[in-house]
Amino acid sequence: MSTQVKSISEVLKDAPKNWGRWGAEDELGAVNFLDQLQVLRGVASVQSGKVFTLGCPIARKEGDPVWPGRSQPGHHMTQDHGTYCCGKLQPLGAGLQYADDVIYMAVQGTTQFDALGHVWYDDAVYNGFSANTTIDGMEKCSIMPIAEHGVVGRGVLLDVARYKGKKHLDKGEQITLEDLLNTAKAQGVTIQKRDIILIRTGWISVFYNQGATIFYEGDFNEPGITYTPELVQWFYDMEIPAFGTDTIANEQTVSSVTGTALPLHGALLRNLGVSFNEIDWLEDLADDCEKDGQYTFLYAAAPLKIVQGTGAPVNPIVIK
């Protein structure tokens, strides 16, 4: 017997929205919550000055973790010592030579932020702008408003993999709201309103430790949180401005609750305007948090200012 999967529109018909909350022209979404007070809350959580960068390396010879179908970043030298050796270039003035290179990549082909207009359904992106505004460049809800504002506040790591006693979660494993709250409890941390949440699944380490073949084998189905009314209500009530994970899409790929693909891109990104910071490297931060017991920190990230971009690479910084 085949069961019909409901459309995302039906699944999310009663889900909360932040459309209009910051005005009819708003393109920044829940990052509006990150005011000066939130920056000071983040700064107040700094205790030792330890710094962690969450960006993954770009354009490794062995390849990078990208959403299936997206091309790998390409990195090419446009000039180097060889260009001078074979006489194609003359040194600048008194013998100075230099190397240059170019990179060609999907704007979401590495650690990155999604623009709020990146994903839509029912022909509308965040705040009700028409999906037509995405044609030939994001006229509305591009990455620019987030890039210009910056995402700075108090961050909290929820190391769900460690809480569950695993190196990494299994393919397609669901993280429930209860898992998030129990993880916080086990870590002795209280999640506060307007915190930026980092959820560790350990999943991206499968790509680096076991290789692309194992990472992509079979149906692509990452572990993560997924749509449930209580989880989305919690994000809404807690005024979560942004969240990051160590997966490519920040949520269970195919929801084990709704059967739909990436429903949280609809419920959180499109409807609540919550910013998605994807493909974070969380292993070093998580190891350190376990050692010193400090799971809160200053989180600061500014995606690149790609005009009309659907997203942009970023190298978030955590300071403990």
Rule CB under 6 A: is residue 67 a binding residue for ligand UVW? yes
Rule CB under 6 A: is residue 142 a binding residue for ligand UVW? no
Rounded to whole angstroms, the Cα distance separating 248 from 271 reads 20
Residue 289: HSE in the Cβ half-sphere, 13 Å Cα cutoff = 31
Tokens for 13? Answer: 């018909």
Q: Which is nearer to ligand UVW, 114 or 288 (CB)?
A: 114
Q: Which is nearer to ligand UVW, 18 or 247 (CB)?
A: 247
Count the residues of the shown chain that bind ligand UVW, applying the rule CB under 6 A: 6
Q: What minimum distance in Å lies between the beta carbon of 264 and ligand UVW?
A: 10
Per-residue contact string for residues 274-293; x = within reach of ligand UVW by CB under 6 A: ----x---------------
**In Å, what is the CA distance from 276 to each residue of 2, 76, 245, 270, 291?**
33, 29, 9, 11, 27
Q: If DSSP codes are grouped into helix, strand and coil, which group holds residue 134?
A: helix
Q: Which is nearer to ligand UVW, 45 or 252 (CB)?
A: 252
Q: What minimum distance in Å lies between the beta carbon of 221 and ligand UVW?
A: 13
Q: Which is nearer to ligand UVW, 43 or 261 (CB)?
A: 261
Nearest-CB residue to ligand UVW? Answer: 249
Q: Which is nearer to ligand UVW, 258 or 296 (CB)?
A: 258
Q: What minimum distance in Å lies between the beta carbon of 260 and ligand UVW?
A: 13
Q: Which is nearer to ligand UVW, 45 or 111 (CB)?
A: 111
Rule CB under 6 A: is residue 151 a binding residue for ligand UVW? no
Q: What minimum distance in Å lies between the beta carbon of 108 and ligand UVW?
A: 4
Per-residue contact string for residues 235-254; x = within reach of ligand UVW by CB under 6 A: -------------xx-----
Tokens for 113? Answer: 């932020």
Q: Among 109, 105, 107, which residue's Cα sits nearest to residue 117?
A: 107
Q: What minimum distance in Å lies between the beta carbon of 68 and ligand UVW?
A: 9
What sign has the CA pseudo-torsion 185, 186, 190, 194?
Answer: negative
Rule CB under 6 A: is residue 114 a binding residue for ligand UVW? yes
Rule CB under 6 A: is residue 108 a binding residue for ligand UVW? yes
| 66 and 72 Cβ atoms separated by less than 8 Å | yes
Q: What is the DSSP string of 223-256?
A: -EE---HHHHHHHHHTT--EEEESSSSSS-SB-T
Q: Which is nearer to ligand UVW, 157 or 248 (CB)?
A: 248
Tokens for 25? Answer: 């022209």
- Determine the distance from the C-alpha atom of residue 159 to the mean position of all C-alpha atoms in its chain, rounded to a whole number: 16
Rule CB under 6 A: is residue 204 a binding residue for ligand UVW? no
Rule CB under 6 A: is residue 226 a binding residue for ligand UVW? no
Q: What is the DSSP string of 140-201?
A: SS-SHHHHHH-EEEEEEEEEHHHHTT-SSPPTT-EE-HHHHHHHHHHHT----TTPEEEEE-
CB burial string 15-29: b at 16+ within 10 A, e below:
bebbbeebeeebbbb
Rounded to whole angstroms, the Cα distance separating 233 from 216 reads 32
Q: Which is nearer to ligand UVW, 114 or 195 (CB)?
A: 114
Binding stretches for ligand UVW (CB under 6 A) = 67, 108, 114, 248-249, 278
